[in-house]
């Protein structure tokens, strides 16, 4: 695993960009009455919080959680300078939440806290269901990360860091699926496979990205 403090110490927060799944499906925010004026959002495993910056500029009150104290420091400094409704915290999302005792201690304060949660390029299966618990009733979960086979060396090679086919549909089967797409490979090249009846974004990118899954669901 990379040293994330080293990675983020060399990156400029102004270059951070939001995930495609959030930008391409931003119309679902208003459709679900998730208005920035009153909405609370979480950029989960945020890195330099491209997602959080995007939502804060729309007026959301955003929390950014990440393991890297360098990333958190950069985010909070940038937020203060630019007067954004964005606050970052150092959170070890794999270990602190996996500890059942720690989870129980935080449950009263953490459950049903956010109207919007965005996760991009992060996968920890043992704690996936915590995302459901963190959402308010009617809240939206946007998720984008690597899946299936590695393509052209993009993303992690290890299977434990890549989603399996339809995995998020299974994990969050009790949520209303608003958008879902898996971009994978077949014998003819790239195959983008949407599920029947999905709400397809009018702004969806026409070019598939092999080895990527996009997911939006409502609690």
Confidence at residue 46, expressed as pLDDT on a 0 to 100 scale: 97
Per-residue pLDDT, averaged over 183-208, amounts to 50
Per-residue pLDDT, averaged over 26-39, amounts to 71
3-state secondary structure of 102: helix
Per-residue confidence at 206, pLDDT binned at 50, 70, 90?
A: low
A 10 A CB-CB count for 200 gives 13
Greater confidence (28 vs 36) lies with 28
Q: What residues does 181 pair with on adjacent strands?
A: 194, 214
Give the count of domains, the chain: 1
Domain range spanning residue 94? 4-218
Specify the pTM.
0.81
CATH number of the domain at 119, please: 3.40.50.150
Confidence at residue 212, expressed as pLDDT on a 0 to 100 scale: 86
Q: Which one, of 75, 11, 79, 5, lies nearest residue 46 by Cα?
A: 75
Q: Provide, rounded to the nearest whole percent, the portion of the chain with pLDDT above 90.
A: 58
Whether 111 and 131 have beta carbons less than 8 Å apart is answered as: no
Round the CA-based radius of gyration of the chain to a whole number and report it.
17
Mean pLDDT of the chain: 81
List the alpha helices (DSSP H) in 49-99.
Answer: 50-56, 69-81, 95-98
Confidence at residue 33, expressed as pLDDT on a 0 to 100 scale: 56
Flag whether pLDDT at 161 surpasses 90: no
Flag whether pLDDT at 138 surpasses 50: yes
Give tens-digit pLDDT for 61-105: 999 999 999 999 999 999 999 999 999 999 999 887 545 444 554
């Amino acid at each position: 695993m990379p040293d994330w403090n080293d990675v983020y110490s060399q990156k400029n927060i102004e270059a951070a960009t939001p995930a495609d799944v959030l930008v391409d499906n931003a119309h679902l925010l208003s459709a679900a009455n998730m208005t920035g004026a009153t909405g609370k959002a979480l950029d989960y495993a945020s890195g330099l919080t491209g997602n959080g910056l995007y939502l804060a500029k729309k007026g959301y009150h955003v929390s950014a959680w990440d393991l890297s104290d360098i990333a958190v420091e950069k985010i909070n400094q940038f937020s203060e300078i630019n007067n954004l409704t964005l606050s970052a915290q150092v959170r070890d999302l794999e270990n602190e939440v996996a500890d059942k005792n720690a989870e129980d201690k935080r449950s009263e304060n953490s459950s049903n806290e956010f109207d919007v949660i965005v996760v991009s390029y992060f996968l920890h299966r043992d704690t996936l269901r915590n995302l459901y618990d963190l959402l308010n009733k009617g809240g939206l979960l946007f998720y984008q990360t690597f899946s299936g086979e590695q393509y052209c060396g993009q993303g992690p090679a290890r299977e434990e860091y890549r989603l399996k086919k339809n995995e998020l549909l299974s994990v969050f089967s009790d949520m209303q699926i608003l958008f879902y797409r898996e971009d994978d490979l077949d014998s003819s090249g790239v195959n983008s496979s949407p599920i029947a009846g999905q709400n397809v974004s009018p702004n969806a990118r026409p070019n598939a990205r092999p080895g990527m899954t996009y997911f939006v669901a409502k609690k």
